[in-house]
Structure 1
């Protein structure tokens, strides 16, 4: 009898960019969740035509730390070819987060255990659209050289879940960009690494302050159900068995938490939706689906579904297998 190959989709995927840090056996990763980063808006569907890697792996835009604070090559993609679709600047292409003058709460979703030494936030210059290169891409000259907000951190403390900072914004009008940098503490081959996110914002004249932080109990993302195999989305066929396996910090896999679903005809294209439903039906200490600004998480058929836990949960990642 022929053996059916098994495809394993680890949360901390081996497709991560070179230079990704290894911390406590996991890879450091995360993204700005509010105001939502450009790549994460690709994942949730507000941005389109931004490539599969941004759509499925918005948390892995990471490259070498530099003295200037900006990547040596392209900024939106952090110089990573797989994210290059993010590098084209067009006022009509990217969804903009409405914000107002004054203070702004900036929240990160740290998706795996990470040691972070500091965060830095840069604002574009008033004439930033005149600083683009010939291919209409950002350069370091597009941003103020000094961050408008800088947050120090105890690098010995492992971070995961929602991390929020309140920053005073510089005075700006209209469409601007925030460049968010999380500098990682650990080094690999003697080189430090940073997570880089571009955030598209639109300064409104309204006095209504946008609530940027996510107020809910599900603050710790431990997995994204949809992943990539090579350069393509995962393909699931009717009859395939999908399993979710859960792992806890310092204790490995928790066997009795495994969730198994056999895909029926017609469910293949929305397999993560049915997997998320099954997880929610079996467990009350995790929640699978799409995280919304009001803190609620529920499965959606045409979105990227993830798995969340409480901030103090011992669970720190999950893996999905298809066979």
Structure 2
């Protein structure tokens, strides 16, 4: 009987190991493919001209392949979405975990789950039909498709990830911590923010990391609300992100052309950009734990 259980455990461990190796192998394959496909265009264009060039005109008579506006737009859009979305998601998670009545909590959690299940194209469609005209009317500008619209849509899209992961982390904090704080004379609000939140900071930080990943990697929704024009980023101007630059031109770029190679180079830059952000966030997360 013991030998049978041991064999079962070894078999399960082996399955988990194989699945983990498959995951690592997929990441390595994607990395190698992007490097092989993206390096040739960077060599032809020049790394400085490619990364810091301010004009993208891939179909012009004399094409130019500068992606600096795309890089800045992705940074500004992601940062804006995080600044707008994280406080709302965090405070909602604290309310649901510690303050909300059970019936209210059930309703809001169901709404958050529904929000997480909505396809990206639906966010983009609603943003294009409601948000873009609203920005045009409120701010009296010719076109509401802009960086501001993209930031608002991204902030809404990252809310479910932030709320769900933060809520799970807050609910995992032992009740004894809060009871001890209340017994020492702290108010409930002080207990929530000075005891529960610090105890759950690793989970909350993980929620922020997931939100950053969702914001950086989104393409379809922001393509529909940002205008998709290769301009330098301004709040009320149409812009193009790194993701939308690849998605908008890949379908008609000729195989083997410099344009298609440049699009793979953009994908490589985006991949390295995401890896760098995750590495930095994980570094600060581990540093805070220590």
Give the TM bin, normalised by the shorter chain.
under 0.3
Name the one with the larger helix percent.
2
Which structure's relative contact order is higher, taking Cα pairs within 8 Å and 6+ residues apart? Answer: 2
